[in-house]
């Protein structure tokens, strides 16, 4: 909880920069000066470390709690608390000591408090810490670009050639239904497959669950062709055949240092590149033999 202590104080029109000895801004240790509307004074609030919560489940499985929801102006998380970084400006006090270089700027880290407003939790010279990260939208674009959503090889049964009115099974050879991208500024994109779409080549598309074996395909990913592939756009053994393609749709979420984050404008689904196979569909032939 935050406990606010209002200190009546008028600010002179000509602002005098505080010295390092004024690190508490006149509010006392553990307190932060928050400007009042109109710039005629400030409120002193007690700084309470934000964001309780655990570390979440960094392993990628099960529930991932707690969640840090980043909405502007927040661009990064301190545990479960959204924060952002801005250039130093009055009424914040300058960091203690001289800047490392004459042109070194001072930065301010601000974090969301229980009252719904941001206050400064750290003031420092820029070279003392990591530079401010890119915007969350830019980080999300980088993180999703590091996902590998390519499917393994597409298999069919029968292989290469099937028959009209014979159930044909489709599956991909292995693969993981969850993909985790490498870290981009501590942000990871995690993709979980939601569907596997099979374009059978004759104008039909079927939607299957994640299917990685013929045994699974027998009950969850099969299709029966009703005509031969005479109109196919490719060939198999010199005869017209269909190009069968599998594409996957993935649900996307983001983790920042093991904690789920919501990033406005970031993609929530992605489609991976297709995996293909060539399949010829032939008419079944009946042979009738005479009897004597």
pLDDT tens, 189-199? 999 999 999 99
Rounded CA-CA distance 19/118 in Å is 24
| 88 or 292, which is more confident | 88
Question: Is the pLDDT score of 225 beyond 50?
Answer: yes
Q: How far apart are CA 185 and CA 187, in angstroms?
A: 6
- Strand 167-172 relative to strand 161-163, pairing: unpaired
69-76 own/partner pairs: CB under 8 Å, 24+ apart: 69/261, 69/262, 70/136, 70/261, 70/262, 70/263, 70/264, 71/262, 71/264, 72/264, 73/118, 74/112, 74/136, 75/132, 75/133, 75/135, 75/136, 76/133, 76/136, 76/186, 76/256
> What pLDDT score was predicted for residue 168?
97
Tell me the per-residue pLDDT of 88-115, one tens digit each, with 9 for 90 and over.
998 888 988 888 888 888 999 998 888 8
Residue 226's pLDDT band (cuts 50, 70, 90)? very high
Looking at domain 139-282, which of 2.60.40.10, 3.90.1280.10, 3.30.450.40, 1.10.760.10 is its CATH number?
2.60.40.10
* Region(s) of the chain under CATH 2.60.40.10: 139-282
Q: Tell me which residue of 146, 245, 125 sits closest to 190, measured CA to CA.
A: 146
Q: Cβ distance 198 to 151 under 8 Å? A: no
Q: Model confidence over 240-281: pLDDT tens digits?
A: 999 999 999 999 999 887 788 888 888 899 999 999 999 999
| pLDDT tens-place string over residues 56-66 | 333 333 333 34
Against a cut of 0.75, is the pTM above it?
no
């Amino acid at each position: 909880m935050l406990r606010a202590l209002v200190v009546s104080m008028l600010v002179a029109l000509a602002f005098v920069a505080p010295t390092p000895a004024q690190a508490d801004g006149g509010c006392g240790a553990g307190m932060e000066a928050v400007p009042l509307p109109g710039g005629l004074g400030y409120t002193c609030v007690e700084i309470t470390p934000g964001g309780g919560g655990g570390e979440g489940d960094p392993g990628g499985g099960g529930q991932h709690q707690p969640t840090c929801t980043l909405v502007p102006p927040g661009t990064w998380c301190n545990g479960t608390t959204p924060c952002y970084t801005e250039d130093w400006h009055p009424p914040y006090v300058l960091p203690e000591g001289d800047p490392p270089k004459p042109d070194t700027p001072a930065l301010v880290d601000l974090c969301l408090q229980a009252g719904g407003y941001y206050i400064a939790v750290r003031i420092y010279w820029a070279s003392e810490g990591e530079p401010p990260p890119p915007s969350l939208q830019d980080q999300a674009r980088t993180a999703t670009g590091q996902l590998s959503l390519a499917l393994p090889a597409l298999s069919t049964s029968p292989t290469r050639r099937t028959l009209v009115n014979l159930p044909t099974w489709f599956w991909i050879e292995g693969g993981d239904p969850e993909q985790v991208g490498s870290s981009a500024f501590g942000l990871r994109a995690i993709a979980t497959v939601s569907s596997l779409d099979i374009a059978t080549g004759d104008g039909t598309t079927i939607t299957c669950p994640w299917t990685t074996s013929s045994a699974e395909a027998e009950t969850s990913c099969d299709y029966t062709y009703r005509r031969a592939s005479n109109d196919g756009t490719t060939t198999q053994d010199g005869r017209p055949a269909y190009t069968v393609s599998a594409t996957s749709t993935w649900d996307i979420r983001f983790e920042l240092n093991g904690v789920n984050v919501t990033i406005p404008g970031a993609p929530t689904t992605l489609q991976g590149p297709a995996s293909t196979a060539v399949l010829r569909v032939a008419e079944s032939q009946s042979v009738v033999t005479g009897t004597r």
